[in-house]
């Protein structure tokens, strides 16, 4: 077991946008002020492709949240 996964097992590794806890897809992204937040791979890509850097978790959710109807 790699030491980097230990903190993810207690729920701290859930995607702040969708709540996914699949360790295989967990990553992180930085908000405008430099805060690093945990996201799944899909939401990391969406944030990096967006035209702006989110200032807060709420703004990140609005920017890259669920788009399917």
**Could you read off the pLDDT of 18-51 as tens digits, one per residue?**
999 999 999 999 999 999 999 999 999 999 999 8
pLDDT of residue 13: 84
Read off the pLDDT band of 1 (50, 70, 90): very low
Least Cα distance to 38 among 64, 13, 6, 10 occurs for: 13
The first and second tokens of residue 15, run together, are 């995607």
Average pLDDT score, the chain? 84
Angle at 18 between CA 37 and CA 35, to 5 degrees: 10
Note whether 26 and 15 are within 8 A (CB): yes
Which residue bears the tokens 């939401």? 43
pTM of the model: 0.76
């Amino acid at each position: 077991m790699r030491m980097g996964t230990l903190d993810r097992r207690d729920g701290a590794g859930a995607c702040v946008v969708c709540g996914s806890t699949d360790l295989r897809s967990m990553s992180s992204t930085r908000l405008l002020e430099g805060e690093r937040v945990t996201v799944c791979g899909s939401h990391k890509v969406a944030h990096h492709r967006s035209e702006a850097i989110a200032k807060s978790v709420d703004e990140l959710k609005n920017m890259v949240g669920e788009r399917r109807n």
